[in-house]
């Protein structure tokens, strides 16, 4: 009996040995920084010297900082855009792809190809296209249709949408793949039955396809919204949050505060706000999943 226990303990110890490297990495690279990130927002810290506790000063500053408000609004615009235009576009393309019998993989690869381009390169491509003196407008003018003027990044209030178009170009292929994969799992007999009963194409989409896709759409939408509140790369590459914070997001703002701004303490407070938003969104998703049965 004792021998069995000893073997079992040894087996457990071996298990821990295998887990240990990963566990230590997680403790030092994730857990400790995560706990520290709950303390840093309440400090004055330039990112170099030791942080000094300053109570709720950063919290108060957060509510007086107009840039935080503008950045938050841009994150909302980002989320609204991504859950509508690219998602509908991806759904439409996935629906069409699902209908074709030949060359589906080729089209899928083409749509997905932009997703494998790095953000830096994608951003630079769109910067060239948007260049008001040598980009799309220049060639439209050469083609004799100079009356079509694409503002690109020249109108600050519209800049965020043109950055979004670049981001959509880079990222919508992923949604197409997700939705297409879900559509191929749909029960085709339901569509056939609806057709025999005389249902039109729109009714089939609305009453047969969409309800079956709901779990995928819920998770795609959830991830899209969460990603939207972390929007950083494309904005940083294309505009750096400018001009005059017109394209600022919470992520670009706290990055700048923490690095060039040397206000890592306050930057952490802005990051904490972003985490709080993510927690609220996840809680809403949890509620919908539990109470409304929006299971995935």
Partner 1 sequence: MNHRFPKLLTVLALASVFALSACSSSSKDGKANGDANGQEAEESFTLKVPDAEIWGEESSALQTMYDAYEDKHPNIKLEQVTMKDDQTLAAALVSGEATDLMLMDPSAAKERYKSNYLAPLDAYYSKYGWDATMYKWAKNAYVEDDKAIGIPWNYEGLILMYNESMFKDNGWTIPTDYDELMALVPKIKAKGIMPFAWGSSDNPGVDDWWVTSIVNGVLGPDGTKQLFSGDTKWTDPSIVEAIQRYSDFWNAGYVTDKKSYAISQDDSMQLFLTGKAAMRLDGTWSLAADNEPDFDIDFAQFPSWKNDGTPVIPLGVGGGLVINAQSEHKDAVAELLNEFFSPEVVKTMAQHGIPEPIETDYGAMDLKPNVSKALDMINDAAKEGKSGYVAWSYGPPRVVQVLESDFPSVYLKKTTVEAWLADLQQKKEQDVAENRIFDLANY
262 binds partner 1 (CB under 8 A): yes
154 binds partner 1 (CB under 8 A): yes
51 binds partner 1 (CB under 8 A): no
List the one residue from 8, 12, 37, 46 that touches partner 1 (CB under 8 A): 46
List the one residue from 98, 140, 156, 199 that touches partner 1 (CB under 8 A): 156
Q: How far is the CB of 72 from partner 1 (least distance, A)?
A: 17
Q: Which residues are bridge partners to 107 per DSSP?
A: none
Q: How far is the CB of 160 from partner 1 (least distance, A)?
A: 13
Restricted to residues 221-260, the positions that interact with partner 1 (CB under 8 A) are 238-240, 242-246, 256, 259-260
152 binds partner 1 (CB under 8 A): yes
Q: Which is nearer to partner 1, 138 or 276 (CB)?
A: 138
Residues that bind partner 1 (CB under 8 A): 46-49, 127, 130-134, 152-154, 156, 238-240, 242-246, 256, 259-262
């Amino acid at each position: 009996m004792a021998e069995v226990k000893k073997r079992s303990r040894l087996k457990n110890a071996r298990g821990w040995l295998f887990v240990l490297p990963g566990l230590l990495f997680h403790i030092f690279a994730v857990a400790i920084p995560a706990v520290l990130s709950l303390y840093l927002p309440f400090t004055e810290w330039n990112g170099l010297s030791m942080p000094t506790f300053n109570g709720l000063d950063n919290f108060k500053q957060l509510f007086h900082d107009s840039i935080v408000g503008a950045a938050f609004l841009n994150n909302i615009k980002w989320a609204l855009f991504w859950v509508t235009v690219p998602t509908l576009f991806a759904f439409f393309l996935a629906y069409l792809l699902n209908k074709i019998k030949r060359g589906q993989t080729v089209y899928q690869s083409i749509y997905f190809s932009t997703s494998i381009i790095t953000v830096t390169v994608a951003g630079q491509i769109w910067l060239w296209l948007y260049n008001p003196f040598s980009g799309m407008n220049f060639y439209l003018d050469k083609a004799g249709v100079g009356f079509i003027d694409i503002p690109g990044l020249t109108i600050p209030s519209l800049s965020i949408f043109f950055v979004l178009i670049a981001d959509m170009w880079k990222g919508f292929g992923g949604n197409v793949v997700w939705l297409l994969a879900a559509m191929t799992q749909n029960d085709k007999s339901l569509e056939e039955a609806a057709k025999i009963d005389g249902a039109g194409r729109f009714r089939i989409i609305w009453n047969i396809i969409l309800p079956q896709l709901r779990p995928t759409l819920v998770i795609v939408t959830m991830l899209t919204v969460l990603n939207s509140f972390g929007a950083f790369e494309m904005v940083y590459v294309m505009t750096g949050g400018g001009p005059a914070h017109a394209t600022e997001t919470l992520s670009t703002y706290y990055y700048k505060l923490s690095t060039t701004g040397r206000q890592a303490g306050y930057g952490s407070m802005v990051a904490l706000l972003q985490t709080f938003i993510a927690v609220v969104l996840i809680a809403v998703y949890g509620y919908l999943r539990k109470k409304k049965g929006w299971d995935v």
